[in-house]
Structure 1
Amino acid sequence: MHPDTHLALHHARAADLRAEADAYRLAAEAKRPYDIRNRLGWTLIEVGLRLTTPKPALVH
């Protein structure tokens, strides 16, 4: 493949990847309000699991 052709394809692919990354960032920012719900939910699950797990017996 001619170097100029290879370079042109590289630039086109890089532009496509940048556009995909921008679209992903915009989609991720739109979902941010639910992020706090997810963290709170997983924290409540973790606390519940800690409360239901029996503590090991202390042996002296």
Structure 2
Amino acid sequence: MHYDPHLAQHHTRAADLRAEADAHRLATAARQPHAIRTRLGWTLVEVGLRLAAPKPVFAH
């Protein structure tokens, strides 16, 4: 059996995996600002809920 076809198949698969990794990296980098906006939004919601909640009344 010759190793050339297997080597060519390996090179093709390696190139495909590199392309998938690059696409994933780009997608992750593009998604980060959205994640920051989401985190900030939920933080503002939490602060708003704390401000809107009635203060506890302690009976003596």
TM-score range, shorter chain: 0.5 to 0.7
Task: State the match for 2:32 in structure 1.
Answer: 32
Q: Distance in 2 between matches of 1:13 and 1:24?
A: 16
- Structure 1 stretches of at least 4 aligned residues deviating more than 3 Å after TM superposition: 37-42
Structure 2: tracts of 5 or more residues without a match: 47-60
Number of residue pairs matched by the alignment? 45
Q: Whose radius of gyration is greater, 1 or 2? A: 2
Letter aligned with residue 16 of structure 1: D
Structure 1: tracts of 5 or more residues without a match: 46-60
**Percent identity of paired positions between Structure 1 and Structure 2:** 64
* Equivalences for residues 18-57 of structure 1 within 5 A: 18-37=18-37, 39=39, 41=42
RMSD: 2.4
When structure 1 is superposed on structure 2, of 27-36 and 15-24 the one drifting more is: 27-36
Measured after TM superposition, the shift of residue 37 of structure 1 is 4.2
